[in-house]
Amino acid sequence: MVLDKARGKSGVFLDGVASHLGSVSPSLITLISFILAVAFAVAYYFSYLNPAILLAAFFLLAGSSYLDALDGAVARMFKKETKRGDFLDHLLDRYSDVVILLGMTVSLFGNMFFGIVAISGTLLSSYVGTQSQAVGLGRLYSGFPGRADRLVIILIITLLQLFTLRFEIFGDYITSWGLLFLGLAGFANSVYRASIAYRSIA
């Protein structure tokens, strides 16, 4: 949620580019963003072969994150917002979340237990936000980390892993500890969102 608020102030980085994409379907941009997320996961897994692959993973996720914001900007600017597009966007966001975290988990730098915690915490946080909408309260984006926050954190983790490579902290790599942090933060945010939603129900 912290970085989600900055999307409206992105200026030329989103709206400037979006203004040239009137003929492009926002759903196509969403799909490409998802494909790049899958490519990130594959690259992260194979990064043990060469550190340059980890750098490639960084740029793949950066591209995916940018397109994840661009699709909405295009939809809003050219009045292409639809329920089907909204559904596809949020559906592929969840698939992307799982694929990204799974790629990190099964990589040389991952930890299976921490990865399960990361995926579970992330999905629970997202679920509470959408369940709030299901009972008529509106979708909840509050708390930390929101999806934009999470993607930036993963980008930072990727860079830190690239520069530390085989350095371990208490027997685990930076990636593993990053997964644990995301998982615990996700669980905490799910409780925070649930408390907000529960108090709002008449």
Measured between alpha carbons, how far is 168 from 103 in angstroms, rounded to an integer?
Answer: 19
Considering the candidates 4, 86, 93, 172, report the single residue annotated as catalytic.
93
Long-range own/partner contacts, residues 50-58 (CB < 8 A, 24 or more apart): 51/162, 51/165, 54/158, 54/161, 54/162, 55/162, 57/158, 58/155, 58/158, 58/159, 58/162
Provide the residue type at 160 as one letter: L
Catalytic (active site) residue 93: yes
From start to end of 38-107, where are the E strands? none
Q: Which residues are catalytic?
A: 93
